Amino acid sequence: MARRITVLNQKGGVGKTTTAVNLAVALAQRGQRVLLLDLDAQRNASQSVGIIEPLTDNCTDALIFQGHFAPHKGVLVPTLDVVPASVKQGLVEMQLIGHIAAAPRKLRRALDVVAVNYDYVVADLGPTLGLTALTAVLGCPELLVPLELGHEAAVGAVTLQQWLNDVRIDHDPDVHIMGILPTFADDVATTPRDVLSLVRSSFAPGLVFNTVIHSAEIIKASFKKGTPVVLTDPRSRAAAEYQSLTQEVIDRGIH
């Protein structure tokens, strides 16, 4: 049965999509059967794996509301399937409000049916803690939280943890943080090592991954190409860091 991972942080531009896509591809490169879900109206994850055209059918909104599952198969790597975000994804939040009692569990039910076919499901969210995020984490309860290194890094995480506590109490105690990933580390030491130590000491021991993702122009360039850095520049430091994260994610599933 697939491990189900949501990449989330309500702060924008912290590396969620980059992480979701590189993780999904790196897992698939290791022969794992991976399903990538794009739950963000910006559709960046879809675009990052080369699904550029605006789509309306067979997208994550149909998966949430109708349980309709027709992924793009073998995207970039043979074992990577992708359900892209629809051009109508922006309406999903409102439609979820219309089905408030049942809606947050709809994705979970849809994934229960297909999870047997995958080793990993990786969901990418936009910068929100709304109903779409609730729907995502009930479907994919292992949370991977990219945290942009900076002076406010640990502050934003407090909001996220409060939200998570509410989700656990009101909906499902299984939803939990699988790991926190420091991103946008700077070689020129504007984010000195003590910021990283502060982040590490703000969370339970071992919760922050050993892997740190450094700022790298090559990541921006690969997004524009529609192919993630683990494929375009496998020998780069950025790719090595995402491969190292991938190994840590795999290791955290072995008990």
User: What phi-psi label fits residue 145: left (phi over 0), alpha (psi between -120 and 50 degrees) or beta?
Assistant: beta
Tell whether residue 216 is a contact of ligand ATP (CB under 6 A). Answer: yes
* Residue 2, helix vs strand vs coil: coil
Which positions from 130 through 159 interact with ligand ATP, judged by CB under 6 A? none
Q: What single-letter DSSP state applies at residue 86? A: P
Tell whether residue 82 is a contact of ligand ATP (CB under 6 A). Answer: no
- The single residue listed with the structure tokens 């409000």 is 97
Q: Residue 13, Cβ neighbours under 10 Å: how many?
A: 12
Tell whether residue 13 is a contact of ligand ATP (CB under 6 A). Answer: yes
Which positions from 170 through 229 interact with Mg ion, judged by CB under 5 A? none
Residue type (1 letter), 41: A
Q: Are 116 and 109 in contact (CB under 8 A)?
A: no
Contact mark string toward ligand ATP, 169..208, x via CB under 6 A: --------------xx------------------------
Q: Taking contact as CB under 5 A, which single stretch among the options 12-20, 30-38, 55-63, 173-181 is the one that binds Mg ion? A: 12-20
Q: Which is nearer to ligand ATP, 71 or 146 (CB)?
A: 146
CA distance 163 to 128: 11
Q: Which residue from 3, 4, 16, 43 is in contact with Mg ion, where contact means CB under 5 A?
A: 16
Q: Which of 79, 119, 96 is nearest to 41 (CA)?
A: 96
Q: Which residue from 16, 43, 106, 108 is in contact with ligand ATP, where contact means CB under 6 A?
A: 16
Q: Which residue from 50, 90, 127, 130 is in contact with ligand ATP, where contact means CB under 6 A?
A: 127
Shortest Å, Cβ 169 to ligand ATP: 26
Tell whether residue 220 is a contact of ligand ATP (CB under 6 A). Answer: yes
Tell whether residue 44 is a contact of ligand ATP (CB under 6 A). Answer: yes
Tell whether residue 4 is a contact of Mg ion (CB under 5 A). Answer: no
CA distance 211 to 96: 36
Q: Taking contact as CB under 6 A, which single stretch among the options 25-33, 36-44, 73-81, 106-114 is the one that binds ligand ATP? A: 36-44
Here the contacts of 227-231 (C-beta below 8 Å, separation 24 or greater) are: 227/48, 227/49, 227/50, 227/76, 228/18, 228/21, 228/22, 228/25, 228/48, 228/49, 228/76, 229/22, 230/22, 230/25, 230/26, 230/29, 231/25, 231/29, 231/76, 231/77
Tell whether residue 40 is a contact of ligand ATP (CB under 6 A). Answer: yes
Tell whether residue 118 is a contact of ligand ATP (CB under 6 A). Answer: no
Q: Which is nearer to ligand ATP, 18 or 46 (CB)?
A: 18
Tell whether residue 22 is a contact of Mg ion (CB under 5 A). Answer: no
H or E element that contains 165: helix 153-170
Alpha carbon 203 to chain centroid distance?
Answer: 20
Enumerate binding residues for ligand ATP (CB under 6 A): 12-18, 40, 42, 44, 126-127, 183-184, 213, 215-216, 219-220, 223
